[in-house]
Structure 1
Amino acid sequence: MQRIIVSVTNDLSTDQRVEKVCSTLVKNGFNILLVGRLLKNSKPLNRAYKTKRFKLFFNNGFLFYAEYNIRLFSLLLFSKKDILLSNDLDTLLPNYLVSKLQNKKLVYDSHELFPEVPELVKRPLVKKVWTFLESNILPKLKNNYTVCDSIARYYKEKYNTNFNTIKNLPNSKTIDLGKFPFNTQGKKIIIYQGAINLGRGLELMIESMKFLNNHLLIIIGSGNLTKELQNLVELKSLQAKVKFLGRIEPRELHKLTPLASLGISFEEDLGLNYRYALPNKIFDYIQAEVPILVSNLPEMKQIIKDYKVGEILINRNPKSIAKQIESMSEKDYSIALEKARKELIWENQEQELLSIFNNLS
């Protein structure tokens, strides 16, 4: 039985992509150790494979990355393994070094264009460091996959490095309805689920709520803009129209998503990482049979064109968005959503993932 050490920099509890990859590999005869970090609010894990979370002294900035990568390098170097699976650029250096030192197979899963994240737009020195790391390692990698065709094409053009596409699709599941922890007063629910960070378009959606009287916006997730958005809601006196639920475990979230009438993904074009984004939440909305309204960006609008499960934003103006949402509420997307729900599931691409691990070069 081949042993794979899988590494990420998060606390493992909400990383659905990595959990699905590990579960698929375990079901197909691989021995998995998943490595991440332990945070103050990290919840206990119950997985079908082994996990390890580092308790770190530093949890952000340069010192975090330095401490985590040193700890990860030591663990990888002295642990039994056959294959290394690095998730994203922030775990790649120790994985690459150990793979070279010990002649081990390395697989790389790029969840995004890491040096192009919006948080680095105004930090040119930090961006330069990550770009240097990427440009010196990626051209040497042979076993790679990423979340969408646009990123795969980007890497091919920039580094002449081949990437397979393994979309971050949800597992097939029955729709099980939960209940919000407050009275929704019979209003139509607009849901956002995911990170609350720069460039998610949440300020725009909050502003749009001024023009929607029969809708309630529910924001589920956490991030460094949470407090700022809560202040915006108070400033605009929209407390009755916008609710924040914080971070929710995936199992519970899956019961809340189907309660919505509309799911939104309003990412801004703040660089290549967002331009090529294909967020998990889009597929989660579809799996819950909730129509979607998305930004006019390549990967997101392609889903709308291919599956007819919602609409593309016509105009990034609050009043225009409100009108489009009102118009969408009068349309029936149920047949298209039912079809897409059966096709866009993790199980339909498991064999593509396994073919990568069974045919490593």
Structure 2
Amino acid sequence: MKSLVFTVTNDLNYDQRMARICGTLASNGYKVTLIGRKRRNSPPLLPREYNQKRLPCFFDKGKLFYLEYNFKLFWFLIFRSFYAVCAIDLDTILPAFLVCKLRGKVLVYDAHEYFTEMEEIVRRPAIKAAWSALERFTLPRIKHAYTISDGYARLYMETYDRVFEVIRNVPRTSSIPNIETPSTNRIIQYQGALNIGRGLEEAIQAVSELDGFTLRIFGDGPISETLNELVQELKAEEKVEFMGLFSPADLREKTQQAWIGLCLFSDTGLHHQYSLGNRFFDYFHAGIPQISMDFPEYKAFNLKYGVATLIPELNKDTIKSAILELDVNTQMYKQLKMNCAKAREDNCWEKESVKLLSFYSKI
């Protein structure tokens, strides 16, 4: 039985991708351990079919957090028995890389993000230079890697001449309400991390100027306080609701109750332009249409399945226009909703997990 260790920087409970990956491997004979961090307000770990370990950290964000967490992760890994370590993103790659080199173990890289092109990094040249140097040092020396979109895989091939397999972050199929039943509410839903470049400010501005719509924001993140201040400034407290963090099961239920979802990004950095966000799949799996960006990956998918209305640029006016079009054009809305059924049938974890198992069988 091969022992696999996965490393992330979150507190494990709300990471649906890692729950799917680790759960699938554990149920197929691998001994799996997922390592994350313990925050001051972290709830108890959810029971899983694999081992979980949280490393407590004094620092919660910024450079000192990354230094502390990577230091602790190195010393945790150096004495642990395993066959391979899979580092998720650049923020856990260094300790995994060093330990595997020192001990002659297999290293795998899972690029959830095109890390050096994330907006919060692109905006800070010194930070970008540091992460880019780490990427240049490690990635050319890693043999086994996968990522979440064809766009990211092409970028890594062009930059480092390395093949990245594509294992998308698609949900498992689950029962949903009758997809033909028209929605009577006008709940617009965002779910995911509250980070810059996710269209949250623009969405709040758009909804604040519309009557009869409610924007529900599920998640937490660095700009939570800024978004709350914006809602107060616009006097939109009755139109925007901050829902906080929900367990994956509870979030799926809430998503099914929404009218549409939002999968929006700025065009700053290649990370957004070639992404294929988790929520994009979550929305059509819940049977709801969505507003997304006219970026290459979303455009290609939508040409095939037609689950979203795409906007050419991110601003409050394009979002408002898309919302009103879906509200007025009931036939269009119904067709998008119907298309979700075919999309979720073809794009589900039951099929995507076959690629995951094939990948790990070869390392």
Query: Which TM-score tier does this pair reach, normalised by the shorter chain?
Result: over 0.9
- Normalising by the residue count of structure 2, what TM-score does the alignment of the two structures yield? 0.93
Q: 2:199·2:266 contact (CA, 8 Å) conserved in 1?
A: yes
Per the alignment, in what secondary structure is the counterpart of residue 234 of structure 1?
A: helix
8 Å CA contact 1:176, 1:254 repeated in 2: no
Question: Which SS does the other structure have where 1:301 is aligned?
Answer: helix
- Distance (whole Å) between structure 2 residues aligned to residue 229 and residue 16 of structure 1: 24
Q: Cα offset for 1:140? A: 1.3
Aligned twin of 1:34: 34
1:88-103 to 2 correspondence within 5 Å?
88-103=89-104
Runs of 4+ residues deviating >6 angstroms: none
Does the alignment pair 1:116 with 2:122?
no
- Decide which of 216, 223, 226 is 2:214's aligned counterpart: 216
Q: Which residue of 2 aligns with 1:165?
A: 166
Which whole-Å CA distance do the structure 2 matches of 1:214 and 1:319 have between them?
17
Q: How far did 1:2 drift?
A: 0.9
Q: Check 1:79–1:230 CA distance in 2 against 1; reply closer, same or farther (3 A cut).
A: same
The Cα shift of 1:117 comes to 1.3
- 1:5 matched to which residue of 2? 5
> Is residue 176–residue 255 contact of structure 1 (8 Å, CA) maintained in 2?
no
Q: Which moved more, 1:246-255 or 1:294-303?
A: 294-303
Counterpart Cα distance in 1 of 2:200 and 2:73? 35
Q: Distance in 1 between matches of 2:337 and 2:63?
A: 47
Deviation of 1:320 (Å): 4.2
Amino acid at match of 1:7: T
Q: Deviations over 1:41-64 (max 9, x none)?
A: 212121111111011122222221
> Which whole-Å CA distance do the structure 2 matches of 1:344 and 1:324 have between them?
25
My pick for the range that moved more, 298-307 or 277-286, is 298-307
Q: Which residue number in structure 2 is paired with residue 141 of structure 1?
A: 142
Q: Which residues of 2 match residues 1-361 of structure 1 at below 5 A?
A: 1-45=1-45, 46-175=47-176, 187-314=185-312, 316-329=314-327, 330=330, 331=332, 332=334, 333-360=336-363
* Maintained 8 Å contact 2:190/2:261: yes
Amino acid at match of 1:133: L
Give the paired residue count: 352
Q: One-letter code of the match for 2:35? A: V
- Tell me how far apart the structure 2 counterparts of residues 92 and 12 of structure 1 sit (CA, whole Å): 17
C-alpha distance after superposition, 1:91-111 (max 9, x if no partner): 111111111111111111011
The aligned amino acid for 1:274 is H
Give the RMSD, CA atoms, in angstroms: 1.5
- Determine the C-alpha separation between the residues in 1 that align with 2:30 and 2:245: 31
Does the CA-based 8 Å contact 2:265-2:314 persist in structure 1? no
Q: Is the Cα contact below 8 Å between 2:27 and 2:49 reproduced in 1?
A: no
Q: Secondary structure at the match of 1:273?
A: helix
